[in-house]
Each structure stands twice: as structure tokens, then as C-alpha cells.
A and B are shown apart, each in its own frame.
Chain A
Amino acid sequence: MSVHGVTGEERDDFTRAESRAIRQRSTRLLGSALKPLKKKFIVTVVVILVATAASVVGPALIALGIDRALPALLEREDWVPLAAVIIGYLLVGVLGAFLVARFQVLSAEIAQEILIDLRKRVFLHTQRLSLDFHENYTSGRIISRQTSDLDSIRELLAGGVAQLVQGSLFMLFTFVALFSLDWVSGLILLAALIPLAFLTRWFALASQKMFRRTRVASARLIVHFVESMTGIRAVKAFRKEKRNEEDFAELVEDYRDANAKVIQLFGTYDPALVLIGNVTLAVVLLVGGLRIAQGELAIGALLAVLLYTRQFFGPAQEMAMFYNGYQSASAALEKISGVLEEKPGVPDPTTPIDLWEARGHVRFDRAEFSYKEGRVVLPEFSLDIPAGQTIALVGSTGAGKTTLAKLISRFYDPTKGSITLDGVDLRKLHPKDLRRAIVMVTQEAYLFSGSVADNIAIGKPDASLPEIEAAARAVGADEFIRTLPQGYDTDVNKRGGRVSAGQRQLISFARAFLANPSVLILDEATSSLDIPSERLVQEGLQTLLADRTAIIIAHRLSTVAIADRVLVMEKGRIVEDGAPEQLITGEGRFAQLHAAWRDSLV
């Protein structure tokens, strides 16, 4: 099986070759993000090496102070050693502190640089990927790639890596200092490493499992909570409160239990760490004490040895926590690198053809389309839509109307044949020109956060406010926009600014009008309007569509009135094609549809 791109993302039974391929792909990604930062990276490494070295000198200096400077003072009135020790202490103290602080900033800068690079790459790539990919991969997954997955990488980069480097260097340098000060104590500490390693490994593995459990439990808690709060009307109307309470209590208990287990884990690890530390300390003290008695070790040195032994265990817990972060971040990186590996299904042309002023002549030339290989949705057909014609596309659900519309707006490419605009193959047309020439308005009129004006301006980002208002007026949206709390500046997501489905459609209509395309595709774009608004839109459309090509899909056949030509589709084929007057009087499918629709109006 292939592990290319996002395929196999849900699997956990990779062969070794597959795992290697995935690992390599994420390493390559990380490497390419790190490459421009090479210089800074080296500086950071030097800084942390010096900083850690400086910050472990302290206890050795205390030993020097007690063992050398004090006797020198007592025996020879010699102040030099004391002054040297104190000044040395202050110097390394200041140096170490500043460098550690510097390291924090440097490592954060590197981390953020990598992160923003990844963010932009994934974002842009997501925008490039075809609708086909989006529909199969689902919005939830593509969003979590860009949010929670990037978050876990951020957590690791921002805290974890720096701490790991700093912590392990600190332990290493402490160990070296101890060893060079007194190798016997060093050996004892080395022995203590064995239980410490086992304990930490156990903790890292166990806590990883437990943290995952808390995350799962809290996610379920959140889903249930949000669902019952947003659906509170239905909850109340159907008296679901009691059952909800029971379900929620169960989830709360799960969450509590998971949390308690985590705390318990810390409750075991923490004292065990102290125990190992204290026992090591006692052994070091015993051996050291006995050697002092025999004159083999100085008292100050013993103190330093004890202080080193103690501080050695400090970063252990952080290192264990790092493992958690590392696991989730590398899993996240693997998934992200998979998304980046996906090739856009509707690629941009390599040598684009410009088309400044499109007239709007659309042609299907022996085009065929299938979403999946072997399952043809639109069998081979040819169709010529002269510039300026208004077409009503009619047919039952699933007949292929929307697919045909999506082909014209190049959400998909035909699997065979070609589609041209003014004689230029859509696949070769410059994306900018294509999007300026052809605009599609769909039923689900999506609004972005921001003001109403911002949303209309999506059609033409540099539009002035009068232009925006004119567009709104033209489609009959102006009136309701003016009744909103802040008119055109009303935030569409704020309370009071909530707009109904029908009003959304009007805004999205205005958006398309502002874009002023030569080919306009309306896919069920008026389905949620109430009748008076629809009437207004219909009137507006008459003038709006006068000088452009339009393809209108609507269940309600009122649109037909303004169409020059009707196409009736059935099972992916165009079964009737003609002027509306002609078709209504006939015996065909359209005549039937029209009769049925008329009955529903009475």
C-alpha cells in the first residue's frame, strides 16, 4: 500500500520501509525549514554550551572558598584566593544567567521562524489543493492539521526542545564537574543513573498514555457540552435535560478519573525521584565522609559534591515530559508532511495564457467527467454557450447540474476533452484571468468574519464603499443591510449582526455582482430567500445578466422566465435543449417538471 500524501494516515500498521519513508519525509520538511536558519542555529548552540558550563561552576567555587581561600586567609592572611573565588563566582553567575536568558530568546526565535514557515506552507498548499481533495479529506481534518497539529509542534519547539537541550546539558556538565572534582562520587552518581533511567522511562511511557486519555476525555466533554449548549432549544423542547445530565456526569467522571490518574502518576514519580536523590546523597555522604576521615577528601569538596548530586536530579522531570511532546509533535509533523506531499488536482498552468477582456463564450468539446475512475458522472458531451446567453439548467437532484457548473468554474478538470473560454482551454488560462472572468455563487453562501462590506468586497478587494453599496443595491440587499446595527460595518459574527440564510445569499449575490464577471454561475443561489426578496432579485437579474453569460441552476423554475435557453439534464446527460417557450409546450421532461412546479404554487 502506498503511504504517499495523506493515504494511510489512519493506519498504524506501517511496515518498516513505510515508516522510514514517512520519517524521511518529515525530516526533509524540518530540514528545509531549518536550512535558512543555519547561522543562528550555530550561535544558539555555542551560547547554550557556554551558558550551561558557566551555570554549573558555582558549587566548585564554594568548595574552593572553603578548602583554599579560608585556609589561605587563616594561615597566611592571603586575601587573593578569596577575592579570586568571589569575583569568579560573580562573573560566572552573571555570565551564565545572561547567556541562559539569551538562549531562551534565540531558541524561541528559531522555533517561531520554523513554525511560521510551516504555517504559511500548509496554508498556501491547502488553498492550492483541489476541491476534490478537500471534499475527500474533510474540512475537519485539514483544519486540525493546521491547528492542533501545528500546536503540538509549537509546544515542542517553544518549550520542549530548548528544555531538553538545556536540561541534558545541565545534567551532563554537572556530572562532568562532579567527576572531575571527585571521581569516586562521580561513579556513585553514575550508578544512580540506572534506577533513574528506568523510572523516567516508565514515567514517560505511562504519562504519555495518560495524557492521551485526558485529552480524549476532555475532547468528549467539550463536544457534549457545546452540543447541548448550542442545541439548548431542542434539549428543552424534547426534555432531554435529565438524560443529558446523566451522560454529562459520566463524561465528567471519565475526565476526573483520567486527571486523577495523571496526578497519581506524578505522585509516584515525584517521591521516587526524591527517594533516589536522597539515597544517592546519603551514599555519597557516607563514602565522602569516610574518605575525609582518612584525609582523602576536603570538607569543602564534600559540600560541593553534595550540592552537585542534589542539583543533578533537577531536570529529570522535564526530560520525561519532553518525551510526551516529542511523540505528539513527530506524529503531527508526519501528517503535515503528508498533506504537503499531495499534488493539486487542478494544477496552475506552467505557461499561462492571458485573457484580458473575456467575452464569455464557453464551449465543452467532447468533455467527460468522473470523480472516481470508472464511475462516469458526465458522459462525453459537447456544448456551446455563446457569449451573453442566459441558460437555465434544470433537472432532478443528482442529475449532474452542479458538476457541470463546477467544470466551467474549473473546480475540477474534465477527465477527457476540454472546456474553453473564448477559445482558450481553461487549463491554460491564467488563474487570475480565469477567476476574474468566471464566478460561481453557490447555495451555501459562506460569510467570512468581518463586516458586511468586507464580505461583499471579496468580489473585488480594492472596491470603494460606494461601489460596494451599488452592488448591494443592484441585487436588492441594500435595504436589509441598512437596518443592521452598524449598516455596512456590522460584524457578521457579532450578536445583533446575525444574518439569516436568505440574507447571506443576498450578500453573496452582491459579492458576485461586484466581481463583475463575464460568466456568472448561480447554483441554487436564491433557495433561501423569502418570496418578496426573491421577487426583487429576479427583477435585478434581468438587468444584471443582460450583457453576460449566465448559467442558472434552480429547483424553483421561476428562473426559467429570464432564460434564453433551457438545458434539461438527466443522469449526467443533457436530454433537452431549447428556448423555454418551445419546451413548455412540448411533451418532454421539461413540460412535466414545469407542470408539477406550477401545481405547487397555487
Chain B
Amino acid sequence: MPSPGGRRNPSIVATTQEDFVLPESDRTTNPPTERRGTVATIFRLYPYVKPAMPRIVLGMIAALIGAVVALIIPQVLRGLVDGPLQDGDSAQVVPAVLLILALGVLEAVMIALRRWFVLTPGTQVESRLRNDFYRKLQDLPVAFHDRWQSGQLLSRMLSDLNHIRRWLSFGIVLFIVNIVTIGIGFGFLISINVYLGVGFLICSIPIWIYGYVFEKKYSVITRRSQDQAGDLATAVEESVHGIRVLKAFGRGKHMLRNFSSQAEDLRGTEIEKARAIAGIWLWLLLVPDVTFALALLAGVLLAYNGELSVGDLVGFFATATVLRWPIESIGFLLSMTFDTRTAVDRYFEVMDETNTIVDPAEPKTIAEPHGRLTFDGVHFRYQDSPENVPDLLNGIDLTLEPGETMALVGLTGSGKSTLTALPTRLYDVTGGAVLLDGVDVRELSREDLRSHIAMAFEDATLFSSSVRDNVLLGRQEFADGGPGADAALAEALEIAQATFVYDLPDGVDTKVGEEGLSLSGGQRQRLALARAVAAKPDVLVLDDPLSALDVDTEALVEAALRRVLASTTALIVAHRPSTVMLADRVALLENGRITAVGTHSQLLATSEHYRFVISSLEDDQDSDLREEVNA
């Protein structure tokens, strides 16, 4: 028995150490593809649990001994009542009490032992599962991450694994031990009196059933309340992040109405939850009290008939009290086991995912990298795009000569960003090939490939660490400083016009990213550009890297970039004429193909689509204006 006393709050028991609960609205959206039994599913954990098995078994043994000891105490009491107390023999009271004391101490020791044995396995298994999960996720291709929202992955990484830990260090042990305890306890009850014992057993059945039903119901309500709390949190976040819009349109009251109705929904669910808890309380109090009252009636009657001694009665009630908690617990332990099975399913749903972008068995290397990048009949379509839609990239042929800078121009949605993701194998082509210095990028190891090609993205991601670490990310030799690190950092920051970092509170050691100082979009973009430049790659791929900069800064960055680009092969997605000016040649992406390649002025002269995409209205308007002025 893990705690004395017959009363325990059911909700506390069910959620002890519920340290972190996340909205898990996605639980039902991804049903396990393969149906396995609960045991078979949970057994998939065995390889992780195997090293810890001895401790778990020892823990169970300790728990069992403790439970048996707790059950023996009433037996001693029974003997004491029928023996020394009946006889008024006070000399024998002391040894019997000492025995009970010894048993009481032993019970406490066994509980401590159980706790100690199962302490490490649960948490260690959890850690192992968690690290493997993370490794797997980092290895899976970007296409996988497009399909899965990070929230779904997070709830698996955290809540599901927490659940598994709790079950391993608490659920499974108590489940088995409590069942055995109930069995032994009934043995004692029946040995006291068959009718009383069997009667008690029958009376306890409603609690088993209700406990199980309650847990099922309760977990549904809990999930709903978590979802609603999540929605409410979203409403709060939006009302704060969108405060400028709400203020600009004076929609604060309007928002409050929506918020209030969501808050009312949550309140309704919370009260429903309270009613469910009230329901289980009702049963947990009513059933034992009625059972005890009936047992008292039966016991007194049996004693009246001389079939039962007073000691038997005392022993019976003391034993029944000990059994109260194990009986109450079976229902929720069972449902906890089913929930664990769901958690295991959800975990392996991700772990079973096959990676489509892997290193070749025998990776080639490029002996002398020059940085010639070739798209050879490249086709690409996203997995989830409808069948009647043609490939997004429908036969791309394009070669970037070593040292050449190529601008990529096209309408929004024409696939420019997708094209830039192919050389580093963030996605793999669905047809044709991308070649780096004549070698298919799929024949290089990913590590090697990505050391040749560096990227900067439009939505600049910075990681929670210092500016220095973020910028020097692509230079692993500088991970711990090292000679030249400072110079490389300074150079990159200067090219990207990111010298504002020197004015940050801790200069280049200022922490940025989620956990650090928040920077403006333009600042982040410049740091991301600095990161790509600092990597000193053979090929630089820049996906609209200057979109968030103002005109003045953009001009400065461009001037500095020109120096870098003189010697580096580069593919730059461009929206503005000024960016195009950085390039030696421009490639026009239209309907999934490269329809024109040439210099800016050549394309302006020859391609109508190019003029449509890149030349502004301002030109004509402006000339109108000038004419007006001149006139």
C-alpha cells in the first residue's frame, strides 16, 4: 500500500506528477495504421526497457512484500483480539504489538525499496526514447516536417513519453502488485469467513467498473478542456500580437465577445469535469460505506450465530480497509495502461517513418571542388499535390559555371524557393538530377554536400545561442573559437551589413533566437546572410535574402556582396531589379521551366514575361511624370 488511509483524491491519483500537459487535439487525427494488441504494442518498448528489467522486477517484489506485510498486520490484530485481549493477558499484548510495529516498519522499508528500485528505469527509458526520437526527427527529410506540425511532434516528445515514464515507474508495478494484493487479501477475508469475503468481493465490483469508466470519460473531458484551453490561449495570443490591428479598427470589444464565448465553453467543460470527479467521489465513498454497513450487519449476525469471533470481525474490517485503495486503483491503472498503449503507438508512428533522403551506401567525394552547379532535366512535385496538377518544376535545365552568379526570377508561386532547396537535398528531385561538379548530389554524403553549399532563407531562422555561434554555424572548425574565428565573423558581419550586433548588450555574444533577444525581420535576415557568407561555401544559394531590408541598407549589402560573389558560384532568388543587378546572368522561371537565360538588359529586351515580372510600373509612370515636369 503506497499510502496509508482509505481516502485518496481520485483525480490526484490519476494524475500524480502530471508535470506538463499539452493540448493533444491531434490524438485522434493520426490513427495507428496497423492494429496491434495492447500488449504487443507496449512490448515494442522492450528493447528500451530490457536493461532495466531486473530493477523493475525487484521493485515489484519489494512492492509485493510490502503489500503482504500490510495484509498480515490485521491478521496479527485478529489473533491479538481473540487471544490476549479476550483473556485479559496484558503480558502477551506487548510482544504482539512489537510484532505489529516490526511489520509496520518493514512495510515502510519495502515501499522505500520499491520507489528506489523503479526510480532509474522509468526516467532512463524515457530519456533514451526521447533522444532517439529527436535523432530520428532531425534525420527525416523536410517533406516529413512539412506534413507534421511541430506541436504534434512536441506532444509526442513530451507528454507521450512522460506518460510512458509514469506508467513504467508507477503504473505497471502497481497494476500487477495491486491485483496480487487483492487476490491475497480476499484469501485472508475468505479465511476469516467465506460469506463475508465473497460478499465483499461482489460489492467491490461496481468500483472496478466505475473506476474504469470514469477514467475513460474523464480523459475525454480532460482532453477537451485542454483543447479549449489551447484555443483560449490562441485567442489571447492573437489579441496581443494583433493588438495594432485591433486598435486600428477599434475591434477590442468584438474580440472580447469571441474570447468570452470561448471562455464560457471552457468553463462548461471544467464544470463537467468537476461533475465527473464528483461522480467518482460519490462511488468511492458510497460503495465502501454501504459495503461496510452490510458487512457490519452480516458480521454481527454471524457473530450472533457463533460463526465468527470478535477478533474475526476486527480482522475483517482492518483487512478490508487495507484493500480499499488497491481496489479503487484497478480501474484507473487499467485505463492508464490503455493510454500508454496509445502513447507508444504515437511514438512509433514517427519512429516507423522511413527516411527517403539518406546517404548513399558508398558516398563519392569531390576531389577538387570548383562549384559548377547543374540542373539536368529536373522535375519536382510535392507529394501531396493533386494528380491533375503538372509538376511544379517540369524539366529544369540550367548550369551555373564556377564563380558565376545567377539570379532566379519568376512570379510568386512559380517554384523559385523549391528550386533552391534541391541542391542541398532538402528535397530530392522527382526526376532528372542536380549535379555538383559533375557528381549527382545524391551520390555525396549529406554532410559533405552541405559543406559545399550554403543557404540563406527568406524567413531567417536564428537559433537560441550567441550571434557568434549563429553566424559561424557553417564553420565547424570554429565551434570552440580557434584562430581566425573572430576575423571570419567580422568579415561576414560586415558583408551582410550586420554590424549592428556590436551595439547589442553583449555584442557578438548576445543571445538571440527564441530564448534570446528578439530582432527585427531585417536584422535576422542580415544575420542569416552573414551565416551563409561565413560558411565560405563553393556554392551560395540565397532565397530572396534582402526582402526585409530597407532601400538604403539593401544598397549597402549589395555593394558588399558583389565582392564575395566575384569568386563564388551563387544562385539568388530575386524580386527586385536591384538584386538582379548582382548577377552575371538571369534565369527566368515560368510554368516549371527555365524559359530564358541572359543578362538583365538582354531579357528586358527580349522577354515580355520578364518585363512583366521585374520592371515596375514606376518606370512608365515615372517617365510620364518627368515628361510632365519637363513640359
B615 touches A314 (CB 8 A): no
- Partner-binding segment picked from B36-44, B185-193, B267-275, B397-405: B267-275
Q: Which of B331-385 contact A (CB under 8 A)?
A: none
Q: Which of A348-365 contact B (CB under 8 A)?
A: none
Q: Answer yes or no: B547 CB below 8 A from chain A CBs.
A: yes
Q: Answer yes or no: B205 CB below 8 A from chain A CBs.
A: no
Q: Answer yes or no: A128 CB below 8 A from chain B CBs.
A: yes
Given contacts A73-B300, A303-B318, A561-B622, A108 and B270 within 8 Å (CB-CB):
yes
State the CA gap A22–B88 with chains docked (Å): 64
Return chain A residues, CB-CB under 8 Å to B244.
131, 411, 440, 442, 444, 446
Of B93, B108, B412, the contact of A502 (CB 8 Å cutoff): B412
Min Cβ gap B593→A in Å is 19
A238 touches B90 (CB 8 A): no
Q: Answer yes or no: A508 CB below 8 A from chain B CBs.
A: yes
Given contacts A260-B119, A274-B108, A397-B552, A70 and B138 within 8 Å (CB-CB):
no
Given contacts A73-B304, A303-B318, A461-B251, A230 and B150 within 8 Å (CB-CB):
yes
Q: Answer yes or no: B616 CB below 8 A from chain A CBs.
A: yes
B270 touches A314 (CB 8 A): no
B250 touches A93 (CB 8 A): no
Q: Answer yes or no: A62 CB below 8 A from chain B CBs.
A: yes
State the CA gap A281–B96 with chains docked (Å): 13
Return chain A residues, CB-CB under 8 Å to B576.
531, 600
Given contacts A97-B281, A249-B131, A446-B241, A120 and B263 within 8 Å (CB-CB):
yes
- Partner-binding segment picked from A28-36, A84-92, A375-383, A567-575: A84-92
Min Cβ gap B1→A in Å is 8
State the CA gap A438–B405 with chains docked (Å): 47
B514 touches A221 (CB 8 A): no
B145 touches A232 (CB 8 A): yes
Q: Mark A243-274, 1 if CB is under 8 A from B, else 0.
A: 11100110011011001101110111011111
Q: Which of B525-547 contact A (CB under 8 A)?
A: 528, 531, 535, 547
Shortest Cβ distance from B144 into A: residue: A232
Return chain A residues, CB-CB under 8 Å to B457.
233-234
A278 touches B617 (CB 8 A): no
Q: Answer yes or no: A414 CB below 8 A from chain B CBs.
A: no
B263 touches A116 (CB 8 A): yes
Of A146, A396, A508, A534, the contact of B552 (CB 8 Å cutoff): A396
B108 touches A239 (CB 8 A): no
Shortest Cβ distance from A287 into B: residue: B97
Q: Answer yes or no: B451 CB below 8 A from chain A CBs.
A: yes
A158 touches B461 (CB 8 A): no
State the CA gap A134–B245 with chains docked (Å): 13
State the CA gap A227–B138 with chains docked (Å): 12
State the CA gap A281–B101 with chains docked (Å): 8
B256 touches A248 (CB 8 A): no
Q: Mark B588-631, 1 if CB is under 8 A from A, else 0.
A: 00000000000000000000000011111111011011101100
Q: Which of A515-536 contact B (CB under 8 A)?
A: 515, 528, 530-535
Min Cβ gap B356→A in Å is 14
B138 touches A244 (CB 8 A): yes
A74 touches B618 (CB 8 A): no
A271 touches B115 (CB 8 A): yes
Given contacts A282-B101, A286-B94, A98 and B85 within 8 Å (CB-CB):
no
Of B20, B238, B300, B455, the contact of A70 (CB 8 Å cutoff): B300
A227 touches B289 (CB 8 A): no
Q: Answer yes or no: B9 CB below 8 A from chain A CBs.
A: yes
Return chain B residues, CB-CB under 8 Å to A584.
625-626, 629
- Partner-binding segment picked from A4-12, A177-185, A428-436, A465-473: A428-436
Return chain A residues, CB-CB under 8 Å to B629.
581, 584-585
Return chain A residues, CB-CB under 8 Å to B277.
104
Q: Mark A204-234, 1 if CB is under 8 A from B, else 0.
A: 0000000100110010111111111111111
Q: List 30 A-B contacts (CB under 8 A).
A: A55-B285, A62-B296, A96-B285, A100-B281, A108-B275, A116-B260, A116-B264, A131-B244, A142-B240, A218-B20, A228-B138, A228-B463, A231-B461, A233-B421, A241-B139, A263-B169, A264-B119, A274-B1, A277-B4, A278-B107, A289-B80, A289-B96, A314-B7, A397-B550, A448-B245, A511-B249, A528-B547, A531-B613, A557-B618, A598-B622
Min Cβ gap A563→B in Å is 11
Return chain A residues, CB-CB under 8 Å to B531.
238
Q: Answer yes or no: A237 CB below 8 A from chain B CBs.
A: yes
B290 touches A232 (CB 8 A): no
- Partner-binding segment picked from B122-130, B210-218, B432-440, B485-493: B122-130
B461 touches A82 (CB 8 A): no
Number of B residues, CB within 8 Å of A: 175
- Partner-binding segment picked from A13-21, A38-46, A304-312, A366-374: A304-312
State the CA gap A128–B260 with chains docked (Å): 16
Return chain B residues, CB-CB under 8 Å to A423.
none
Q: Answer yes or no: B237 CB below 8 A from chain A CBs.
A: yes
Return chain B residues, CB-CB under 8 Å to A434.
250
Please give 8 more A-B residue pairs, beta carbons under 8 A apart, in addition to A289-B84, A303-B313, A602-B577.
A108-B270, A236-B424, A244-B138, A245-B135, A252-B130, A411-B247, A432-B250, A558-B617
- Partner-binding segment picked from A315-323, A327-335, A543-551: A315-323
Given contacts A127-B255, A244-B138, A597-B551, A409 and B97 within 8 Å (CB-CB):
no
Q: Answer yes or no: B252 CB below 8 A from chain A CBs.
A: yes
Q: Answer yes or no: A293 CB below 8 A from chain B CBs.
A: yes
B127 touches A93 (CB 8 A): no
Return chain A residues, CB-CB under 8 Å to B84.
289, 293
Given contacts A108-B274, A227-B464, A435-B250, A120 and B300 within 8 Å (CB-CB):
no
State the CA gap A277–B2 with chains docked (Å): 12
Min Cβ gap B218→A in Å is 13
Return chain B residues, CB-CB under 8 Å to A120.
256, 259-260, 263
Given contacts A55-B285, A318-B9, A289 and B93 within 8 Å (CB-CB):
yes
Min Cβ gap B280→A in Å is 9
Q: Answer yes or no: B202 CB below 8 A from chain A CBs.
A: no
B551 touches A538 (CB 8 A): no
B296 touches A61 (CB 8 A): yes
Q: Answer yes or no: A153 CB below 8 A from chain B CBs.
A: no
A259 touches B134 (CB 8 A): no
Return chain B residues, CB-CB under 8 Å to A223.
464, 514-515
State the CA gap A554–B293 with chains docked (Å): 83
A112 touches B271 (CB 8 A): yes
Q: Answer yes or no: A235 CB below 8 A from chain B CBs.
A: yes
A266 touches B248 (CB 8 A): no
Q: Answer yes or no: A50 CB below 8 A from chain B CBs.
A: no
Return chain B residues, CB-CB under 8 Å to A163.
9, 12
Q: Answer yes or no: B578 CB below 8 A from chain A CBs.
A: yes
Min Cβ gap B175→A in Å is 18
State the CA gap A293–B327 with chains docked (Å): 35
Q: Answer yes or no: A556 CB below 8 A from chain B CBs.
A: yes
Given contacts A85-B296, A127-B255, A558-B617, A97 and B243 within 8 Å (CB-CB):
no
B318 touches A147 (CB 8 A): no
Q: Answer yes or no: A292 CB below 8 A from chain B CBs.
A: yes
Q: Answer yes or no: A459 CB below 8 A from chain B CBs.
A: yes
State the CA gap A517–B617 with chains docked (Å): 27
Give the most central of B124, B134, B286: most A CB within 10 Å. Answer: B134
B255 touches A116 (CB 8 A): no
Q: Answer yes or no: B555 CB below 8 A from chain A CBs.
A: yes
Return chain B residues, CB-CB under 8 Å to A321.
12
Min Cβ gap A473→B in Å is 19
B551 touches A98 (CB 8 A): no
B616 touches A558 (CB 8 A): yes
State the CA gap A515–B619 with chains docked (Å): 32
Nearest 9 Cβ contacts at the A-B interface: A314-B5, A435-B250, A278-B104, A93-B289, A108-B274, A267-B115, A127-B252, A231-B461, A97-B285
Min Cβ gap A293→B in Å is 4
State the CA gap A285–B296 with chains docked (Å): 22
Q: Mark B465-490, 1 if CB is under 8 A from A, else 0.
A: 00000000110100100000000000
Of B7, B90, B252, the contact of A311 (CB 8 Å cutoff): B7
